[in-house]
Amino acid sequence: MQADPNRFKIVYNPGVAEILAKLKSVIAISTYQAGKVIFIGSHNGKKLFQIPVSFKKPMGIALLENKLAVATLDEIQIYSNSPTLAELFPDSEQTYDALYLPRATYYCGDTDLHDLGFGKGGLWAVNTRFSCLSSYDINYSFIPRWKPPFISELTPDDRCHLNGMAMLDSIPLYVTALGKTNAAGAWRENITHGGVLMNVPEGEIILDHLAMPHSPRLINNELYLLLSATGEIIKVDIENKNYKVITKLNRFIRGMTHHENYLFVAYSKIRKTSKTFNKLPVAEIADEAGVAVIELSSGHVVGEIKYLDTVEEIYDVQILPNTVKPGMITPDDPRHKLTVTTPSISFWKKKKKEEDNG
């Protein structure tokens, strides 16, 4: 769980560390390009630390109480936090106040999952490859739960690039897609103006002709989302089917969450080799990756974290509240086999050598 000191270099405004310390919260980002989920926090309100954890193509991150889920290349990995085991962490050089341990894995296949959310009926995901919302149990790769009305059948060819999901009362209420198209990859033909915002379950199109909508989020009962192609954060008037721009970052933005009076918005570098994304209005200036911190009430950017190397593309950003320094042990780390938790007790198993000695 230690970062290579020669990688993941960042620069940031001192205000970001102050805000995270004041909120007693940690940022979690997923970067499929670098193959990491990275926790970013501050112990003292002056400096930031990073804890990168390896995954295969991590995308959406879901949080609910002590649970955390990560969508990867062909799995959804589910973790639970054990503060007790964090306090008893056996490595005396490491201290954590949260420790996420592996609890279950859904083997869903390469379905290009985007946004995730814990909800009624379990875990929900935006199943981009099959153009639907899906849920998961132990019987199938996924269970289709909803598809846009213009999608005629479920086939693994990304017909509309369904990508974002906003939930209310543990049920998906709004989704975004990059097109209202019904053929393999057809959304690419009008990448800058073909996006739509829809409601669930009716499938009514609330807004169309959008510039790559992503990351719809309900905040204080109001709907916000990102227009990635123009770098705009917008607030949607559902009733009148229009929107207003809250702020414009002039970056390729994707991934948004909020906590108290702050928005945390991720931005990515656009690959020069991308024939699709090079058409975007922000293509020439989208040359950095990082996270912008925005005061929700004013729309002002109050801080940024910028990556100088390693991280070029970010998909999701979430906030771990009431956390100062989280740790995570993945299934590839044998230390997870030394942990035992129940509703009432938690402990680390002694290593074999220690047991033999007494």
Q: Percentage of the chain with pLDDT > 90?
A: 87
DSSP-derived 3-state class of residue 77: strand
Please give the distance of CA 351 from its chain centroid, rounded to a whole number: 35
Count other C-beta atoms under 10 Å from residue 92's C-beta.
6
**Structure confidence at residue 36 (pLDDT):** 98
DSSP, res 152:
-
DSSP-derived 3-state class of residue 274: coil
Among candidates 155, 153, 146, 151, which has minimal Cα distance to 174?
146
Which pLDDT band, with edges at 50, 70 and 90, does 284 fall under? confident
Q: Is the CB of residue 263 less than 8 Å from the CB of residue 296?
A: yes
Q: What is the pLDDT of residues 201-224, one digit of tens each?
A: 999 999 999 999 999 999 999 999
- Domain limits of the chain? 10-350
Rounded Cα distance, 292 and 253, in Å? 9
**Between these two residues, 272 and 192, which has the higher pLDDT value?**
192
**Structure confidence at residue 357 (pLDDT):** 47
Q: What fold, for 10-350?
A: Neuraminidase (2.120.10)
Average pLDDT over residues 68-77: 98
Q: What are phi and psi of 305, to 5 degrees?
A: -120, 125
Residue type, position 53, single letter: V
Q: Percentage of the chain with pLDDT > 70?
A: 96
Provide the token pair at 126.
């935006």
Rounded Cα distance, 163 and 236, in Å? 18
pTM assigned to the model: 0.94
DSSP-derived 3-state class of residue 141: coil
Q: What is the pLDDT of residues 28-71, one digit of tens each?
A: 999 999 999 999 999 999 999 999 999 999 999 999 999 999 99
pLDDT at 306 over 80: yes
